């Protein structure tokens, strides 16, 4: 089954056992999802980027509600706005886009939605893998791992996905500790191949620096 980059990153960000989001420090997951949306739009030929601006090159709907809503948002705010601006802007709407992406994965039969109660009071929603979905998650991880461990130049899709995984802090879910030590430089090289990947890394570092500075001041 062909999955979009937002769908793949959401699968990687779900705990295999509980079906709940992995407890990452904010806003790593938010920006990873926002960047995945922009990356998919770029790969599909609907946007283009340079260091100064991000431009809409095609308004043709894709049929994917997540991608189409994001493209509409970008289209209605023309001007000199760069990739960094849109990573942050879409990241602010990550809860909305995450919910849409999860529902789409349920509709595709990749995930199951389970409603329950935590401590018998608080609503608790989980998205465990459906029987067929296990193969999709394994395929994504195996594919990215194979790219990292090889010496080949990857397809742009996989280079961008590795950048997302690095920024979201989920490389440990793809490589063992020994492999991370051995292939850390390779991960960095692949993650920085594409402009959007470099921008995501820069934005994430800046936000964490601001959070640490704020925490130190209080």
Which residue ranges make up each domain of the chain?
A: 5-217
Q: Supply angle C-alpha 31, 37, 42, rounded to 5.
A: 120
> How far is 159 from 74, CA to CA, in rounded Å?
24
Residue-level pLDDT at 120? 46
Residue-level pLDDT at 207? 67
Residue-level pLDDT at 27? 78
* φ and ψ at residue 77, rounded to 5 degrees: -130, 65
Helix (H, G, I), strand (E, B) or coil at 49: strand
> How far is 118 from 124, CA to CA, in rounded Å?
6
pLDDT at 32 exceeding the cut of 60: yes
pLDDT at 103 exceeding the cut of 60: yes
For the segment 92-102, the average pLDDT, to the nearest whole number, is 94
> Percent of the chain at pLDDT above 70?
82
Inter-residue contact 110 to 128 (CB < 8 Å): no
When the candidates are 1.10.3630.10, 3.30.360.10, 3.30.70.1350, 1.10.10.10, the CATH number that belongs to 5-217 is 1.10.3630.10
Question: What is the chain's mean pLDDT, rounded?
Answer: 83
Count of residues in the chain? 218
């Amino acid at each position: 089954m062909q999955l979009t980059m937002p769908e793949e990153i959401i699968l990687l960000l779900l705990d295999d056992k509980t079906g709940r989001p992995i407890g990452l420090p904010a806003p790593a997951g938010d920006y990873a999802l926002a960047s995945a949306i922009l990356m998919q739009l770029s790969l599909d030929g609907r946007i283009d980027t340079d260091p100064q601006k991000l431009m809409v090159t095609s308004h043709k709907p894709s049929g994917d509600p997540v991608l189409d809503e994001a493209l509409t948002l970008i289209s209605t705010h023309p001007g000199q706005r760069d990739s960094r601006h849109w990573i942050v802007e879409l990241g602010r709407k990550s809860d909305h886009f995450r919910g849409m992406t999860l529902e789409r994965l349920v509709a595709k039969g990749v995930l199951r939605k389970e409603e329950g109660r935590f401590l018998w009071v608080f609503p608790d929603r989980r998205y465990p893998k459906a029987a067929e979905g296990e193969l999709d998650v394994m395929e994504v991880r195996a594919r990215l791992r194979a790219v990292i461990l090889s010496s080949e130049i990857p397809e742009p899709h996989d280079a961008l996905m590795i950048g997302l995984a690095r920024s979201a802090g989920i490389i440990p879910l793809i490589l063992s500790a020994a492999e991370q030590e051995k292939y850390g430089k390779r991960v960095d090289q692949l993650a920085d191949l594409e402009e959007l990947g470099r921008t995501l890394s820069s934005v994430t570092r800046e936000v964490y620096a601001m959070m640490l500075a704020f925490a130190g001041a209080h």
